[in-house]
Structure 1
Amino acid sequence: MSPAPTDRRALVAVDLGAESCRVSLLRWSDGKAEIQLVHRFLNGPIERETGLHWPLAKIIDGVEEGLRKCAPLAPEGVRSIAIDGWAVDYVRLDENGQALAEPFCYRDERNVRAEVELHKRISALRMREITGIEQLPLNTLYQLYADRLSGTPEARWLNLPEYLLARWGAEPVAEFTNATHTQLVDMDSRNWSREIFREAGLNIELAAKIVPPGTLLGKLQGPLAQLPVFADTELIAPACHDTASAIAGIPAAGDDWAYISSGTWSLVGTVTSLPVDGPNVREDSFSNLGGVGNMNCFHKNVNGMWLMKQCQNAWAALGHEPSISDLLHDAEHEPVPQMLLDVDEPDLLRVGEMPQRINRQLVAKGSQPLDEAPTNAPAFTALIMHSLARRYAETLTRIQKHTGKVIRRIYIVGGGSQNTFLNRLTAEATGFAVHRGSPESSTIGNFAVQLATLESELPASSMEFAHAVREWSLHLNPPS
């Protein structure tokens, strides 16, 4: 791989987030890549009469505004655009490929009933055997079944990143990493499960063709393509799921490393060549999800900074609003807690009253509750950080047992990678070297997949392609 491509046109990466969306521009200067965040806008679901929905028009307008802002910054032209984002939610399409309605948000309550009703037709155990992933009511399968229960007419559908690409002229596809989050993919064949579609009464012909990350989908069309910089722009399916994209942005070689995608929630896992499954894996609720180069992301959902956010909301309601950086600084000077939390206890996943929920668990464990006065926030913070680090260590121990790997390094990516206190506690709890990745690792991974696609002739589903992506990630995000 050359240090820089011969085609020095710019690249654009779009990251759709449930709280904010970003449009970033990569340009070349003296053979080095320079990445600039060009546009960011807030996002969030909106309660409508029909339920909780995403404001699709606002998302489209925000992303396209970002692309227009890129135009004057890249007079050399834009070579390609790729989009990653959150998984599971989808847009239903009419016969012309236009959106029939705003997409539902995965948090909508309709999914709870759909999960219960669907498991009367196909058991949770059988579903797990086929897909190899943790079953969550937010998964696409339950949402599609909720459509069926409500009498909504069947229609073609695309997940959000693939929908935006198709809107701009791309071939309508289901990108592999995103597809594996639908709970509709057979982990062995790595294609749509005909059994699940049949048992759920869903039409498999309405699902798009699954393609690997790194697939060229056609040229940008429509009004944006009238801008000179976008006159010859390729549309690429990256790792459309943002976590898979973030993992692709980790420039790690070898087989002795694990990752923690750290944010509101934590995904603790490692990359394997094949899915890992069995009764013990299922009992531990690990998932096998798609990765770049047909690799497998074997990980578990663990609670994360959700606990802190909920505590901060509770303290803010009482007029106490310290910054997270101040809380973490003060927490480092607190004594080590004698009793730690089970951070994945269902009660701690709920909204509101988090200090009270934490104390209820402490009391149930036979420990003294913490003073809930906002001035005692550093003690709560210390308890949460120590508890998360222990949970990470427990999860990594199980990962080694299930995969047979010997882990020596952890790469922490996402917004939580900047939490030096938690990083230190994680290193102490695990005994592993902790490397802080980029907080924008999904953007790095997005660009790396684009470059590997454009600069190599490797099959996108090959391990060699995964290696090429890693090399580009290293070029874009060299060790400090």
Structure 2
Amino acid sequence: MKAVVLAVDLGAESGRVMAAEIGDGINLREMSRFINKPIKKEGHLRWDMESLWRGILEGFTVAAAQYGDLIKSISFDTWAVDFALINNEGELIEEPVCYRDPRTEGLVDSIETEFGKDTIWKHTGIRNLPFNTVFQLLALKKSAPEKLKQAESILMIPDFLAWKLCGVASNEWTNASSTALASPSGQGWDLDLIKKIGLGDLAIFDKALTKSGIELGTVSADIAEITGLKRDVKVLTCASHDTASAAALTPAGAGQVFISSGTWSLMGMISEQPLLSKEAKEANLSNELAWDGRSRPLKNIMGLWVLQNCRRTWNEEGGADWSYPELVDVARSAADVDLVLDVDDAAFFEQHSKENPYADRVVKWFADRGVQIPADEGNISLAVIKGLAHAYANTLKEIEKVSGQKAQAVTILGGGGRNELLVEMTAQLCDCPVRVGAHEATALGNAVIQAFALDLIKREDIAKL
């Protein structure tokens, strides 16, 4: 073992600290795992950052005791679009709001009416989605403009965590590219757009963007004392948007399509240039950055969120104890129907509630279209998995058409690769080979970028893992 790097990987359902042992290969070992569940506070759905930070520090403590001087660096990746605002005294202005909070309702329509439907796309190559950072900031300007005026820095969630660890504020470019406020080339914030939509007087856009694999600083004295980490452990940027870290493992070559399959499914490709045509916009693609500065055109698909919340309905409210493999087993024996569930329907975006459980939403979706499905775990699970596989196949056709490239293979990265039925259905529907990549793709990609930055592996080795 040459060295160890720590990859902190937060998803919308859980977070973990993973130790990556760098030797002849890379072995991941879990140091801590903890629930990530937003809470209602001060009128908004917010991330419980104190709880997440405790889970992270617990993982650091376990890793420090196990690996000691072998630990060379730490990096953070999380979901995109959400952020923290820091004032000039280094204080958090308010706890970060979750992208599923309804504060942006109606803003897409009003901005498109005022500035045109194509304005944000033409500047950033990002699809207009109500949870995008640009709309969250405009919502905050409308409801609490004084908070924006107080802010000196905007830190996406992984940038915020790195700041808490080492005290250095930065904007890593893969996550910044998801905000719909940055140039698709990675050159920086699009100040012309920012000024045009009324955010141009904010100090938060004064900083340049930071590339992936850059050293920000070292672990602070306070955190070293709490956890036992050495003070010289480096805090690095990885591809801090979790999808970008996972997509770093996409096989090299033309026609390689990835699906980062988790709570969300992000399906796309690595491209030398962003895809900015009218056809790309109509296909609802977004052009985010890859870790190395190339483009990462992709489409947001609802992902495993619907199945996760159906399972939550059955387990939390129904008193059952379904595992995902068990749900796959009962789905295999369920009766199929001709109608394909639209997993991207707006009915499946809002947070789960006891008053409107997800399993009931699926049954209602079919009933509203004249199809009755049994309200049991097998039939609902089958409908969701089948709907997701069809969404993958349809998106593949769109990507091929827009890019002009015939897909050579689709690689499913992340937890969705463990769902054997989803993989089988995707392979049946896609007109190309479908392979399963690393289940822990995000944490592995995070670690690989750190190892490359530390000269522990070579560039050509990254996409081989």
1:98 aligned to 86, 91, 97, which one?
91
- What are the equivalent positions in structure 2 for 1:77-476 lying under 5 Å apart? 77-119=70-112, 121-149=114-142, 150-153=144-147, 154=149, 155-156=151-152, 157-169=154-166, 171-188=168-185, 190-202=187-199, 203=201, 205-207=203-205, 208-225=207-224, 229-250=229-250, 252-315=251-314, 317=317, 322-334=322-334, 336-350=336-350, 351=352, 352=356, 354=358, 357-362=361-366, 368-372=371-375, 374=376, 377-455=377-455, 468-469=458-459, 471-472=461-462, 474=464
Q: Which runs of 5+ in 2 are unaligned?
A: none
SS at match of 2:115: coil
Letter in 1 for 2:373: L
Quickly say closer, same or farther: Cα 1:314–1:398, change in 2 above 3 A: same
1:245-295 deviations in Å (ceiling 9; x for gaps): 111134x12212211111233212111111002222111211111111111
Question: How many residues were matched structurally?
Answer: 453
When structure 1 is superposed on structure 2, of 292-301 and 119-128 the one drifting more is: 119-128
Tell whether 2:13 aligns with 1:19.
Answer: yes
**Counterpart Cα distance in 2 of 1:148 and 1:201:** 9
8 A Cα contact 2:289 2:296, kept in partner? yes
Letter in 1 for 2:9: D
**Counterpart Cα distance in 2 of 1:322 and 1:161:** 32
1:286-334 deviations in Å (ceiling 9; x for gaps): 1111111111111111232233234444545456654332221132234
1:160-219 deviations in Å (ceiling 9; x for gaps): 111221233353211110001111012246421112211232235322320111112222
When structure 1 is superposed on structure 2, of 269-278 and 14-23 the one drifting more is: 14-23
Q: Which runs of 5+ in 1 are unaligned?
A: 457-466
Percent identity, aligned pairs only, is 28
**Counterpart Cα distance in 2 of 1:19 and 1:170:** 27
8 A Cα contact 1:257 1:407, kept in partner? yes
Match of 1:460 in 2: none
Query: Shift in Å at residue 447 of structure 1?
Result: 0.8
8 A Cα contact 1:417 1:437, kept in partner? yes
SS at match of 1:293: coil
**Counterpart Cα distance in 2 of 1:108 and 1:343:** 19
**Counterpart Cα distance in 1 of 2:38 and 2:93:** 18
Query: Shift in Å at residue 85 of structure 1?
Result: 0.7
Letter in 2 for 1:9: A
Letter in 2 for 1:10: V
8 A Cα contact 2:417 2:436, kept in partner? yes
Letter in 1 for 2:287: N
The root-mean-square deviation of aligned C-alpha atoms, in Å, is 2.6
**Counterpart Cα distance in 2 of 1:69 and 1:318:** 35
Letter in 1 for 2:35: L
**Counterpart Cα distance in 1 of 2:103 and 2:94:** 16
SS at match of 1:272: coil
